[in-house]
């Protein structure tokens, strides 16, 4: 009996040995489609017997989003889609569910790397390092930098207390910050580890620093908008390492201009790689180009977690880390 076929869409950069080891349970095929139209044709042709797909974040440049149109061209054999990343907004999970395709992500591999970047942005914003860097690069040492604040005693509000949010809480405690959070549901006392669960409105009204750590979906797009900013403290710090579109960037620019938001720290943007000029040219904003997971260790952990999902799919017919929307499909 022939082995089930697994299709790699993208490339394995750090765990190629572990990927090749999957050859003991599957026939491994690498996607050679040049563009979306060719990929769709190949799904009905040379990839028509594929059981599982391993896809990378940057493979979107070839295939486009895994939206309802693309999913409609999946071959009947395809049952598993293993995404190499924590955020999976490039995939229409509802369309996959309707087609009987289960989706996995890498929810834990990115916790340390993203929380470290998150803490860097919090410190940079609260200490006004962005303005200092901005002025120094313009050779303007003598202009001075606005007086900043210490993190000690400040209230960190985490919107989305998943693995990254919980890891960030640990980092922030080392700097003397106090954590409150809002989630889809309250965590167990063990997972919350002393962080106080509050309503969304209380999170906005109480936080000295608001950190966005929630997934992007139809319900969270622009969850931080003009109305949300109006509920925040004057001079709040806002940091986003989730997805750019969970916050309305136009609204953020207005909030920065009015002083409602004193400083911001951003790793993600609505229209990457384009950056809103009101952010790019603003010395009140600390900017990094989506670097939260840009470490060797994190990248390898992600690949290993995704490979583990492929192996589990082939050998057990289940995924180790199925996405939250599909837990009932396991």
CA 288 to mean position of chain CA atoms: 14
Whether 272 is catalytic is yes
Q: Which of the residues 83, 102, 171, 243 is marked catalytic? A: 243
Query: Which residue in 13, 186, 272, 297 is the catalytic one?
Result: 272
Residue 139 known to be catalytic: no
Q: Cα dihedral sign for 188, 189, 193, 197? A: positive
Long-range interactions of 245-251: CB distance < 8 A, separation 24+? 245/216, 245/221, 245/270, 246/212, 246/214, 246/216, 246/220, 246/221, 246/222, 247/212, 247/222, 247/223, 248/222, 248/224, 249/276, 249/278, 249/279, 250/276, 250/278, 251/222, 251/224, 251/225, 251/226
Q: Is 65 a catalytic residue?
A: no
* Catalytic pick among 14, 127, 290, 325: 290
At 199 the three-state DSSP class reads: coil
CA 163 to chain centre: 11
- Please give the Cα distance from 287 to 160 (Å, whole number): 21
The catalytic site residues sit at 243, 272, 290
């Amino acid at each position: 009996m022939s082995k089930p076929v697994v299709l790699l869409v993208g490339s394995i950069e750090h765990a190629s040995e572990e990927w090749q080891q999957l050859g003991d349970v599957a026939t491994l095929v690498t996607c050679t489609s040049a563009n979306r139209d060719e990929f769709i044709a190949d799904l009905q042709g040379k990839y028509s017997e594929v059981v599982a797909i391993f896809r990378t974040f940057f493979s979107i440049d070839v295939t486009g989003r895994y939206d309802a149109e693309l999913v409609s061209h999946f071959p009947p054999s395809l049952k598993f889609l293993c995404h190499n990343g924590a955020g999976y907004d490039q995939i229409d999970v509802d369309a996959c569910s309707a087609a009987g395709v289960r989706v996995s992500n890498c929810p834990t591999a990115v916790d340390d790397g993203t929380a470290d970047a998150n803490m860097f942005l919090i410190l940079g914003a609260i200490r006004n390092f962005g303005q200092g860097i901005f002025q120094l690069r313009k050779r303007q040492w003598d202009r001075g930098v606005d007086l900043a604040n210490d993190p000690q005693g400040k209230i960190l509000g985490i919107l989305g207390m998943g693995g990254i949010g919980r890891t960030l809480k640990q980092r922030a405690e080392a700097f003397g910050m106090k954590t409150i959070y809002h989630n889809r549901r309250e965590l167990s006392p063990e997972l919350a580890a002393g962080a106080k669960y509050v309503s969304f409105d209380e999170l906005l009204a109480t936080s000295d620093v608001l950190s966005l750590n929630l997934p992007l979906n139809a319900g969270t797009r622009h969850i931080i908008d003009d109305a949300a900013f109006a509920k925040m403290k004057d001079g709040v710090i806002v940091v986003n390492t989730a997805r750019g579109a969970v916050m309305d960037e136009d609204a953020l620019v207005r909030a920065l201009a009015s002083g409602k938001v004193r400083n911001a720290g951003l790793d993600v943007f609505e229209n990457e790689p384009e950056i809103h000029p009101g952010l790019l040219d603003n010395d009140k904003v600390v900017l990094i180009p989506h670097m939260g997971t840009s470490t060797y260790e994190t990248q390898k952990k992600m690949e290993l977690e995704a490979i583990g999902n492929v192996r589990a799919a082939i050998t057990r017919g289940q995924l180790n880390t199925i996405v939250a929307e599909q837990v009932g499909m396991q």
